[in-house]
Structure 1
């Protein structure tokens, strides 16, 4: 094997790489030109793998660690640009090298893979490196292995590389592995020796002892190949000798074998005798076991029969006890009284009857007893007791409810009287009814259908009481409320604010009376609904959430909570829609007709002051929002109906006011501010003072309806007299703005109409000012307009040569129009003063008139200068401005 020498190209490459790393702390150990190939994808069966090859420089650098004094070796991949500049493409740390694998497909052996264990994506095929020669590959690999062993204490995995061949190559080229460059000086930090000499860092890959062992092993291997036949003959001879020795040993042990066989024959005879005796004993034991099993079976049947008889007697005794009807309970259920003092005994009898009926039903009674005659007879007897008790109790309660309510209705002290409003008090009524609450619950358990007639009877009786209380309270409430009946909140009769209804009277007592009606009766109706639901055993959640009960709610309402079949309190975990629907239907019967008294108060309040509908809507909305969580729907429907009633009344008032505006007399010439402008301002102020809650939308709707009608009627009246149309419009729109200024800042709806009135006012002012100016100077400014139109088609210097536009025509028009200009300006002011009925508008309108007149006059002067260069306007614009100041 020859000695590998570095070529001039390798030395030139080494110098180039050393120059690149000269400024760094890394010392260059080796540098090779290689070809990097990367598979475009992992190989797939049946497809050719496409490789991309790129030239690269593979460099091995080292740097001594200041802490461990070991070398940090890196494998750096450099790429060379067209102008021979180097740059690092990839850096691998040698400590992460895990595998060196030769590519089997390369027959030259120059292509290999380097596997690193810290690569982020192990799914990507690693690059393949192809050296220029096998010597370069061996020199790089042996150097890497030696550095790994000395610095890391381990060697990477070697795949498809002959280690023995590598060792032999390293031994043969140990002295021919110098690496040019300042390696050792760079590692020691001396820059001077770096330039002077190179140091050989390649040491022997194996020690001397390892080398001797390897040679001895190779020698033995060669020797074995040469003397294979002699070795085989020796093994055959040894095998023959061993077989002969084994046969001899077997022959010497024959007497012992004979003795063992005799003993085995004797043992066999004894075993056969034992087997015969065991067979005899087994037959006897079988017969004995059959006799014992027969005896045990007879004993077990006798014991079971005795146990069954005892259990049957015990069960029959229990059944007889269950079928026995105590005489005291039977008397109470059939003929017992229903006075309050006897109710505990009646409830106890109901408890026994309920338990007895349940005891005759599965699973409390075994189904095998169901068809027994005694059980069937007893069930029929209990059903008869149940029917009798349910009928007697239902008849008693119907009569009791009717008498209780009749007694209260006959006593006038329960109701409001003249000069005295009385809050309805049903505490005594509920106390008396509560005495029979447990019996009602037992009636429901015994016969659920029995509660339907009782509920109707209770609703019918209590409805009479509630309607009487509401009627008497509403009548006395209206009679005791002292207010002055207004002539209407909107009136077109008379003039000024004195004709506005309600302006001289305070009608707040009206809405306060309505609020008092709600404050007294809404909690009462809620409490009555809640009491009715509990008293009549509806399986629903509480109608009023905890903490929101009315003022008359009883604290001991839990005493009448529903019972289950065992007599324990029963509170449903969730709402039962069927029961809730039945409850709402019963509440409809309980409270039907009571809404008429609320409607009467609403209608009475509307007749006194329709604007009080706004505050009443706010009061109703508060109650409606506070009862949105109630399970009973009647109170919510009552409040919603009141809200609709009040809204209809208020809309009726708005429609009447709107109709009066539309019928405003237009047969007579209207001058000045129309009367309904001031009336609407007063109306809006009152409506804003009465707004509560969600009544804002209702009021805004009224504003939109009235203001749009006002503006439409104003435009219609203005068209009757076209001569004074703009004066009427600007005065009324100005009056609307003055009246609505404060409210428009806080009410967005009025703010929109304020802006609309402002725009209409500006348009009317512009038209009126133009009318006043044209009355005096129409010919002058018409001539100016004709000249301007002419300039669209011809040049300014051609204007004097057009027909009717000569200098003479111009002088005639200007002099004729401006003759007596001072008097004409005063006449124009007096004319405006004569037209306006609102003196406060005159200064602003006159200022606008002067501004518009000066603008037109200055435009005329500019046209004369432009088209008639040698002519001038007299008086000039400046002189005209001074004249206007003196007017």
Structure 2
């Protein structure tokens, strides 16, 4: 018998090395194979059900007076080294179940503390029954000795276990390699005997034995006497059975004679049956041969009949109806014949599809007749596609040429003509179904047709836009406004030309109202008519911007051609982006060039009144926001370009006006309010009137540029003569605030510049007033400044003893500065009035001047009271009364 892995010393030492540091002692280690039961989570045989090599090790750990027992599962790492994988506590072992398989070497261990009871516990498979019994006996003994209880044992007879233990007691106590020394297993002979006698007899069996013994109501002194009695009774029963058999000997002989005669009859019958069996076998072979011949004949008949039916179907599929062949090869394309042409196309499409492998049995695909018929149908298709494409190209061109040649169709002098394409679309719809079939027959033929349609209709649209724009400008009456809005030569009091130019922006709005919906409709009709697989550009029944398109049939969906997609199997989602790119390229050909007429209207309006760019910008933004969802790509780009052109023209106007402002600084000497400040207020008022929709940003940017240039120019002009710089600044900043007071209350951008001007005005006032005060009372406030400077370094008591700051110096200074103070104050007023051109500012400036002088004098009085307490000067109250009386 092969050596058990439980006796492998190297394996035991590898296990001890794997759990080194856990203070546990290996009791037994044995190699097993781990597998997963078929009732696991997945229910499928996969990677989890394959047997994996593992080592089961029983270990114990002493903890005080108690000993803990563990079952360790160790696996082999990639390097072949054992490493711990699982750890089970034997106190939770609730069941030991031996699997009912032919080998009997597979068992499961059930633990009552597993988290997921729905997962099948692993199955452990041993090399032989001896290894299985050895491991299980060791587990049961450890449970009994350490835990004091046994788990439930299922699928294994405890009596067989006991007998095996008794027979293999000597093999349980094993030794490892001689050089390692004797290693005695924990399962000794005494342990096995105890286990067999005490533990391997169940409670039920013990009760049955007691009941059996209870039937014998005799006095038994000892077990040997009872055993002798049972032996005697057994011998008596065997002797009685032998006697009964000997008494029945005559009957047995009679039975044997009958059996012999029956055997002879059976042998004779077996010989006869063998003869009949040979004859029947020959007969059966003959019958089978006949049946095979009959079956082959019947199968051949059935096959011939089915072949004839299939050939009839194939011939019917290969037949070309004469009426369809006539329509495809030489039929006309007039409106009356379109129904026959469409029917021929439908038949041809179906016939071609019918000869393809998915719809035709693959075995027929290589038949010569099928190949020839497919080639014939391809020729029919090519001929029809070529004829139809040539007709449609000529038809589109002739249709547009006829409309262009009729001058009454376009706008004329004195009459604006709204473009009407209802008749054009009606005539095109006649061939919409034909285009659908051409696409299903040959997608490549649509490219030239689309180009021909775009070229023809582009001529018509550009002619309509040009005539409409020319007549629109000719019929609009508006006098040209002066563009020199902020010219320096224009006086501030000169009235600005306020001619009403609203007709200009109305003309531009009318141009958009007529043509933008028309271009959107044309884009949508073209996409549907020319079989582009893209989402609808215009929702049924209307337009995204809410404007009337001018078409007579606008209430109905003009782009609904009344047809359904023929090729329902096309992958629209896969080639949608490609189709959209192709559509945009075609729309560029369809509508390109029409933008020039829109640009001409914008440039014309700019020349009449540049401020109308604001209104046109708002109108364009409104259309642009309305076209986001449903406009064709070209129409949106057109609106974007118009918005950019309007912004560029308005920026040009702003730059020219700013240039006019900057020219003011070149004048040699300027006094009073500069001319561009009141004119800017008039300009801003008119700009606010022209704002529509979302043009606020455009106007705010212009305000920012205007005011920035105005303030920079003002500062430069003021610095040309520093003597009068503050007067120029305060007068102009005051004029800016007065002229923009109302607008600043409602326009946040102007309010920001209003506050900036207010701060600059206050700073200029303060500088000018301080200059006037210091000019009249220079000695007074210089004396005060000297005192303030010395107070940082010396005490107030020492200041009167400094040079130039004695009491005598104070009296001299007061006599020269405050004798005739009323005349000095009057001189301040006259100086304030002297260079001021805006007399309306005088009262507020004089009040500021008196307040500033009084504040400075009050500070001087406080210094004198602190430094020269014995000296007397005019009080602040007296000075305030004097200023009030002036």
TM over 0.5: yes
1:361 aligns with 2:338: no
* SS of residue in 2 equivalent to 1:657: helix
1:46 aligns with 2:23: yes
Runs of at least 5 residues in structure 1 that lack an aligned partner in the other structure = 1-43, 49-102, 108-121, 124-158, 162-220
Aligned pair in 2 of structure 1 residues 320, 231: CA closer, same or farther (>3 Å)?
A: closer
Aligned pair in 2 of structure 1 residues 884, 585: CA closer, same or farther (>3 Å)?
A: same
The separation in 2 between residues aligned to 1:641 and 1:274, in whole angstroms, is 114
The separation in 1 between residues aligned to 2:773 and 2:560, in whole angstroms, is 88
Cα deviations by residue, 1:626-655 (Å, 9 ceiling, x for unpaired)? 211237311111111111111101111111
After TM superposition, list the pairs within 5 Å mapping 1:93-108 onto structure 2: 105=65
1:233 equivalent in structure 2? 225
Distance apart, 1:556 and its partner CA:
5.5
2:298 equivalent in structure 1? 303
After TM superposition, list the pairs within 5 Å mapping 1:179-218 onto structure 2: none
1:522 aligns with 2:516: yes
The separation in 1 between residues aligned to 2:752 and 2:300, in whole angstroms, is 103
The separation in 1 between residues aligned to 2:24 and 2:295, in whole angstroms, is 85
Distance apart, 1:571 and its partner CA:
10
The separation in 1 between residues aligned to 2:492 and 2:397, in whole angstroms, is 61
The separation in 2 between residues aligned to 1:631 and 1:494, in whole angstroms, is 47
**2:501 touches 2:609 (CA, 8 Å); kept in 1?**
yes
2:75 equivalent in structure 1? none
Distance apart, 1:271 and its partner CA:
4.5
The separation in 2 between residues aligned to 1:431 and 1:512, in whole angstroms, is 32
1:186 equivalent in structure 2? none
Aligned pair in 2 of structure 1 residues 277, 786: CA closer, same or farther (>3 Å)?
A: farther
1:389 aligns with 2:388: no
Aligned pair in 2 of structure 1 residues 575, 643: CA closer, same or farther (>3 Å)?
A: farther
TM-score normalized with structure 2 length:
0.72
**1:483 touches 1:507 (CA, 8 Å); kept in 2?**
yes
1:73 equivalent in structure 2? none
Cα deviations by residue, 1:228-277 (Å, 9 ceiling, x for unpaired)? 74454145324413431342134224344763552555555555444444
**1:563 touches 1:569 (CA, 8 Å); kept in 2?**
no
Distance apart, 1:419 and its partner CA:
1.8
1:378 aligns with 2:382: no
The separation in 2 between residues aligned to 1:232 and 1:104, in whole angstroms, is 46
1:627 equivalent in structure 2? 627
1:495 equivalent in structure 2? 491
Distance apart, 1:478 and its partner CA:
1.2
The separation in 1 between residues aligned to 2:443 and 2:231, in whole angstroms, is 109
**1:539 touches 1:562 (CA, 8 Å); kept in 2?**
no
* SS of residue in 1 equivalent to 2:583: helix
The separation in 2 between residues aligned to 1:818 and 1:359, in whole angstroms, is 122
2:251 equivalent in structure 1? 259
Aligned pair in 2 of structure 1 residues 817, 556: CA closer, same or farther (>3 Å)?
A: closer
**2:737 touches 2:757 (CA, 8 Å); kept in 1?**
yes
**1:540 touches 1:575 (CA, 8 Å); kept in 2?**
no
The separation in 2 between residues aligned to 1:763 and 1:268, in whole angstroms, is 147
1:876 equivalent in structure 2? 875
**2:665 touches 2:713 (CA, 8 Å); kept in 1?**
no
Cα deviations by residue, 1:539-581 (Å, 9 ceiling, x for unpaired)? 222122345436334536333545324xx79894687111111
The separation in 2 between residues aligned to 1:761 and 1:228, in whole angstroms, is 137
The separation in 1 between residues aligned to 2:250 and 2:22, in whole angstroms, is 71
2:319 equivalent in structure 1? 324
1:177 equivalent in structure 2? none
The separation in 2 between residues aligned to 1:631 and 1:657, in whole angstroms, is 37
Distance apart, 1:524 and its partner CA:
0.5
After TM superposition, list the pairs within 5 Å mapping 1:482-631 onto structure 2: 482-488=477-483, 490-492=485-487, 493-496=489-492, 498-500=494-496, 503-549=497-543, 551=549, 552=551, 553=554, 555=557, 557-559=559-561, 561=563, 563-565=565-567, 572=572, 576-630=576-630
* SS of residue in 2 equivalent to 1:506: coil
1:449 aligns with 2:444: yes
1:746 equivalent in structure 2? 746
* SS of residue in 2 equivalent to 1:792: coil
Aligned pair in 2 of structure 1 residues 675, 278: CA closer, same or farther (>3 Å)?
A: farther
Distance apart, 1:467 and its partner CA:
0.5
**1:545 touches 1:629 (CA, 8 Å); kept in 2?**
no
**1:861 touches 1:876 (CA, 8 Å); kept in 2?**
yes
2:418 equivalent in structure 1? 423
Distance apart, 1:429 and its partner CA:
0.4
CA RMSD of superposed structures (Å): 2.8
The separation in 1 between residues aligned to 2:558 and 2:813, in whole angstroms, is 103
2:10 equivalent in structure 1? none
1:807 equivalent in structure 2? 807
1:398 equivalent in structure 2? 393
Distance apart, 1:313 and its partner CA:
1.9
Aligned pair in 2 of structure 1 residues 375, 812: CA closer, same or farther (>3 Å)?
A: same
Distance apart, 1:588 and its partner CA:
0.6
Distance apart, 1:396 and its partner CA:
1.3
The separation in 2 between residues aligned to 1:747 and 1:250, in whole angstroms, is 135
After TM superposition, list the pairs within 5 Å mapping 1:130-141 onto structure 2: none
Aligned pair in 2 of structure 1 residues 276, 743: CA closer, same or farther (>3 Å)?
A: farther
The separation in 2 between residues aligned to 1:771 and 1:807, in whole angstroms, is 28
After TM superposition, list the pairs within 5 Å mapping 1:405-416 onto structure 2: 405-416=400-411
The separation in 1 between residues aligned to 2:744 and 2:646, in whole angstroms, is 26
Aligned pair in 2 of structure 1 residues 293, 498: CA closer, same or farther (>3 Å)?
A: farther
The separation in 1 between residues aligned to 2:512 and 2:246, in whole angstroms, is 129
Distance apart, 1:590 and its partner CA:
0.6
1:243 aligns with 2:235: yes
Aligned pair in 2 of structure 1 residues 752, 265: CA closer, same or farther (>3 Å)?
A: farther
* SS of residue in 1 equivalent to 2:669: coil
**1:614 touches 1:692 (CA, 8 Å); kept in 2?**
yes
Distance apart, 1:800 and its partner CA:
2.0
* SS of residue in 1 equivalent to 2:585: helix
After TM superposition, list the pairs within 5 Å mapping 1:631-710 onto structure 2: 632-710=632-710
The separation in 2 between residues aligned to 1:230 and 1:820, in whole angstroms, is 158
**2:525 touches 2:558 (CA, 8 Å); kept in 1?**
no
Distance apart, 1:763 and its partner CA:
1.0
**1:334 touches 1:385 (CA, 8 Å); kept in 2?**
yes
TM-score normalized with structure 1 length:
0.72
Distance apart, 1:293 and its partner CA:
2.0
Aligned pair in 2 of structure 1 residues 572, 558: CA closer, same or farther (>3 Å)?
A: farther
The separation in 2 between residues aligned to 1:703 and 1:273, in whole angstroms, is 134
Number of aligned residues: 673
